[in-house]
């Protein structure tokens, strides 16, 4: 029996050695051949699966790539957070300016209320004849109610603005804390925004950020540019929460600023309308008072002329009565004035020839006396009417001066460029005889 193997010479057909000896040798050869085949297969498989000698370098490169990707994504999140932080700061600045404008408008309304109280207090100094409630008083009362209502509106707006400023400050602190926490892994990378926006991965901060309020609601914290929040990723839920709170706060701040502007414009327009209405009413009352004063002066002139005529008539009547009564002493009577003059004695020689001369003289004296008394009474009434007219003219002039002073005061202080002092705010009625302490040109 002949056996042929690789690497082994064929044996002769006829062998001398025993079969067991030959079989043991063949078995050893086969085992060696199997080991060789297994070694070659292992080498081939090792070429395919065994790591290369550059394993350490490859692992370092892969780790660095993962780190760079994570850091770049964190940088994009931080840049977005910083943009919202800048927007929040700008909103705070704008809202502070709106708050200052609101405080200024509120101060103007307080000055208007003080000016209204001063005008009312000044009008109380008019004479009693002129203190009758008129249309100007009603306009002042209506203006005061209107100003108090506007003041309450502005105060409510100011409280809301202060509250929202505190909310914006809380959002800013939250953004700052998240930025600091996210920036811990950015020590070895540039923080330039251009490196993020150059690839189109992050849009401009100002471009349509708050164009639609429906975009990115708080209930959906996902962000198209940053992806879904991941507690173990670069865009954490805290960052998403900070961004959404900043967005909502900025949207509310923008709406609040518009409301502040509209409120200030509306209150200013209403106050100016009420101010003009009161000024027009006071001016009309002043014109009516001046017209009445002129009529009173004309009537006073007519009264004076009537008094002069009545006095002249009284003097004439008194002189006529004196002449009618004749001289005081009978020795001063002339012959023609005597009742027993010769002509009368001759006439009365016949019985029944009585003359009414004596009766007529006495009756004439009585009539003249009555006329004197009536003229005297008329003079007294004319004098009383003159005194009343004079008092009325004086009161009208004082009332007109008071109203004119109020009109000048309201026009001078209508621009609100004056300072409220403690005495003015507490005792407005004592400002009648004083001038404003501070007047701006």
290: its two tokens = 């001046």
pLDDT above 90: residue 6: no
Lowest mean pLDDT among 273-277, 321-325, 432-436: 432-436
91: domain range? 65-206+214-285
Report residue 131 CA to chain centroid gap. 35
Which residues make Cβ contacts (< 8 Å) with residue 17, sequence separation at least 6? none
Per-residue pLDDT, 9: 43
Reported as a single tens digit per residue, the pLDDT across 353-372 is 777 777 878 888 888 889 88
pLDDT score at 40: 85
Cα–Cα distance, 240 to 227 (Å, whole number): 10
| Residue 281, C-beta contacts closer than 8 angstroms, at least 6 positions apart | 135, 136, 139
Mean pLDDT of 177-201: 74
Can you tell me the distance from the alpha carbon of 353 to that of 297, in angstroms, rounded to the nearest whole number? Answer: 60
pLDDT of res. 144: 95
Is 292 part of any domain? no
pLDDT tens sequence across 206-215: 444 444 443 4
Tens of pLDDT along 115-140?
999 999 999 999 998 889 999 999 99
Structure tokens at 51: 């790591």
Answer whether residue 348 is part of any domain: no
Please report the pLDDT score of residue 13 as a whole number: 56
Q: What percent of the chain has pLDDT over 90?
A: 50
Residue scoring higher pLDDT (18 or 146): 146
Q: How confident is the model at residue 112 (pLDDT cuts 50, 70, 90)?
A: very high
Q: Specify the range with the lowest mean pLDDT, choosing from 94-108, 109-123, 339-353.
A: 339-353
| Residue 326 domain-assigned (yes or no) | no
Q: What is the pLDDT of residue 196?
A: 63
pTM of the model as a whole: 0.71
Q: Is residue 125 part of a domain?
A: yes
Which phi and psi (to 5°) does residue 322 adopt?
Answer: -60, -45
In Å, how far are 263, 349, 418 from 156, measured between CA atoms? Answer: 11, 116, 25
- Looking at residue 343, its pLDDT comes to 79
In a domain, 221, yes or no: yes
Residue 241 forms part of a structural domain: yes
Asked if residue 336 belongs to a domain, the reply is: no
CB 421 within 8 A of CB 114: no
Number of domains in the chain: 1
Pair of tokens at residue 38: 């297994």
Q: Is residue 26 part of a domain?
A: no
Q: Which of 98, 79, 101, 80 is nearest to 90 (CA)?
A: 98
* DSSP letter, residue 235: S
For residue 195, what is the domain's CATH number? 1.20.1260.80
């Amino acid at each position: 029996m002949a056996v042929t193997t690789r690497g082994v010479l064929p044996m002769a057909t006829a062998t001398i050695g025993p079969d067991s000896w030959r079989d043991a040798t063949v078995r050893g050869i086969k085992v060696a051949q199997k080991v060789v085949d297994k070694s070659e297969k292992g080498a081939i498989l090792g070429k395919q699966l065994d790591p290369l000698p550059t394993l350490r370098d490859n692992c370092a490169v892969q780790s660095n790539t993962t780190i760079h990707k994570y850091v770049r994504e964190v940088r994009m999140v931080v840049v977005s957070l910083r943009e919202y932080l800048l927007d929040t700061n700008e909103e705070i600045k704008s809202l502070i300016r709106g708050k200052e404008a609101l405080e200024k408008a509120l101060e103007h309304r307080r000055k208007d209320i003080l000016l209204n109280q001063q005008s009312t207090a000044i009008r109380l100094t008019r004479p009693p004849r002129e203190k009758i409630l008129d249309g100007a008083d009603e306009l002042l009362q209506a203006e005061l109610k209107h100003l108090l209502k506007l003041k309450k509106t502005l105060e409510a707006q100011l409280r809301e603005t202060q509250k929202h400023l505190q909310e914006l400050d809380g959002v800013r602190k939250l953004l700052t804390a998240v930025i600091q926490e996210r920036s811990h892994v950015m020590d070895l990378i540039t923080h330039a925004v251009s490196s993020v926006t150059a690839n189109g991965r992050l849009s401009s901060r100002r471009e349509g950020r708050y164009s639609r309020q429906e975009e990115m609601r708080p209930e959906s914290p996902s962000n198209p540019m940053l992806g879904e929040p991941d507690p173990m990723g670069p865009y954490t839920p805290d960052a998403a929460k900070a961004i959404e709170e900043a967005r909502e706060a900025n949207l509310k701040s923008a709406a609040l600023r518009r409301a502040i502007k509209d409120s200030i414009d509306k209150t200013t327009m209403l106050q100016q309308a009420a101010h003009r209405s009161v000024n027009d009413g006071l001016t009309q009352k002043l014109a009516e008072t001046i017209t009445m004063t002129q009529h009173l002066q004309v009537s006073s002139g007519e009264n004076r002329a009537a008094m002069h005529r009545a006095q002249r008539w009284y003097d004439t009547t008194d002189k006529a009565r004196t002449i009618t009564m004749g001289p005081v002493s009978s020795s001063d009577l002339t012959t023609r004035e005597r009742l027993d003059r010769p002509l009368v004695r001759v006439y009365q020689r016949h019985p029944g020839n009585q003359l009414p001369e004596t009766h007529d003289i006495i009756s004439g004296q009585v009539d003249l006396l009555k006329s004197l008394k009536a003229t005297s009474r008329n003079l007294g009434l004319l004098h009383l009417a003159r005194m009343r007219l004079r008092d009325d003219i004086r009161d009208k002039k004082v009332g007109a001066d008071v109203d004119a002073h109020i009109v000048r005061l309201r026009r001078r202080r209508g621009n609100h460029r004056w300072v409220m002092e403690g005495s003015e705010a507490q005792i407005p009625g004592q400002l009648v005889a004083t001038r404003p302490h501070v007047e701006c040109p």
